[in-house]
Amino acid sequence: MKREKPERPGPVVVVQWIEVEWGKDARGAEAATRRNQLPIALSLPELVLKPETRLMMHLWKDGQLQKDGVITQYSDISLDGFPEIELKSSSDHISVTPHPRRVGMGRPAHDIPIQHWSQFTWNERLVYEGSWAYKQITANIGYFHELQGSAFSDQQPLEVWSELVRLY
């Protein structure tokens, strides 16, 4: 008896989280030039999604992880551990509400229809004991029937949302 490929229960949310952090010694024109050359969207690694996957997270921090970053699959769309982004889904779109710097509740939701993606970028200043650093986060968020490695590189985002504050 031939086994059929299990059907996906619906579209999958793909979150590509690109995070870059730098300290005081990396300020200035030369370091800024290097930071500005970092990608803001990456090809997704090849992977077979489990039938129950509703959310795929692609995490890439500072280029220090392996080339493809870290991939995690979830059976629901709650982004535990990432309070900066709130997701809600419906049959034909997802709503994304950004909460950068874990403050500023009350921002409007951004709707992303199936087969599209949007880009959310913000920065923040982190204070460590006796030191500080800057961080810039880019969250590429898409809603796709089929996962393709070029999902974020073959088409432009439906919307680009940016909240870059002046960091001192």
Is residue 7, in this structure, part of any structural domain at all? no
Domain ranges, residue 141: 12-39+49-163
The count of structural domains within the chain is 1
pTM, 2 dp = 0.84
Is residue 1, in this structure, part of any structural domain at all? no
Which residue in 77, 167, 62, 57 sits closest to 122, CA to CA?
Answer: 167
Taking only the tens place, the pLDDT of each residue in 39-62 is 788 888 887 888 888 888 888 876
Is residue 3, in this structure, part of any structural domain at all? no
Q: What is the pLDDT along the chain (168 residues), one digit of tens a residue?
A: 454 455 656 789 999 998 888 887 777 778 778 777 777 888 888 878 888 888 888 888 765 544 556 788 888 888 777 888 889 988 899 999 888 765 555 678 999 999 999 999 988 888 888 888 888 889 999 999 888 888 898 889 999 998 876 655
Helix or strand holding residue 30 (H, E): helix 29-36
How confident is the model at residue 44, as a pLDDT? 86
Q: In the predicted model, what is the mean pLDDT of the chain?
A: 81
Is residue 32, in this structure, part of any structural domain at all? yes
Is residue 6, in this structure, part of any structural domain at all? no
How confident is the model at residue 116, as a pLDDT? 94
What is the token pair recorded at 59?
């995490």
CA 29 – CA 139 distance, rounded (Å) = 25
Mapping DSSP to helix (H, G, I), strand (E, B) and coil, where does residue 74 land?
Answer: strand
Query: Residues of 129-144 as b/e, b for ≥16 C-beta within 10 angstroms?
Result: eeeeebbbbbbbbbbb
Cβ contact 45:29 at 8 Å:
no
How confident is the model at residue 66, as a pLDDT? 47
Q: Residues for the chain: how many in total?
A: 168
Is residue 101, in this structure, part of any structural domain at all? yes
